[in-house]
Amino acid sequence: MRVLGVDPGLTRCGLGVVDGLPGRKVQMVAVGVAQSAPTADIDQRLLLIAGQIDEWLEEHAPDALAVERVFAQHNVSTVMGTAQVAGIAMLAAARRRIPVAMHTPSEVKAAVTGNGRAEKVQVQTMVARLLSLDALPKPADAADALALAICHLWRPAGAVGAPQRAPGSMTAAQRAWAAAEQASRRR
């Protein structure tokens, strides 16, 4: 299974693609950061980030998208930008019928380090170990995106890749169509 992890941010949006299965070794496919200039207008910043996310979805054809759940902060403008980028990522995945899952920062930290309150450097170190990387993934946004993908892959077997919608909400024809679309993205 291939998962694209997205650590949403308006200036830097971490993107990390990981292959693996529950309880199995994970392998990094790609890691990077989508960026926009803080001086640009918000609509143009969102358009730029959306374009980069679209490119990653097309290039890597993930089976699922894992996004960090936005949490309340004191800085409202930061929360707004983060939420807007998270929404863009989820919309891009939904348009491609890619299942979306959201994970809290503490859930991700616990999955990767065993400690839901781990520091950034601990997350980076464990991500590097789990993916057999020679160096810590930087910036932290990129490491967080990889950690999100790993967290999603390591969820209980029945939950991995499950869409966040009611079971059976797709008809047999819709399921077949979605399977065919996914197979064509792999080619």
Task: Cite the active site residues.
Answer: 7, 68, 141
State how far the Cα of 89 lies from the Cα of 110, in Å rounded to an integer. Answer: 23
Q: Which residues contact 138 (CB under 8 A, 6 or more apart)?
A: 124
Is 54 marked as a binding-site residue? no
Count helices and strands in the chain by DSSP H and E runs: 6, 5
* Whether 45 contacts 37, CB under 8 Å: yes
- Say which DSSP state 69 is in: P
Q: Is the peptide bond before 139 cis (omega within 30 degrees of 0)?
A: yes
Question: How far apart are the C-alpha atoms of 118 and 109, rounded to whole Å?
Answer: 6
Do the annotations mark residue 141 as ligand-binding? yes
Q: What residues does 13 pair with on adjacent strands?
A: 34
Looking at this protein, which amino acid is placed at residue 129? R
Dig out the tokens for 70 from the structure. Answer: 């936005």
Cα gap 66→3, rounded to integer Å = 7
Instruction: Tell me whether residue 68 is annotated as binding.
Output: yes
Annotated binding site for Mg(2+): 7, 68, 141
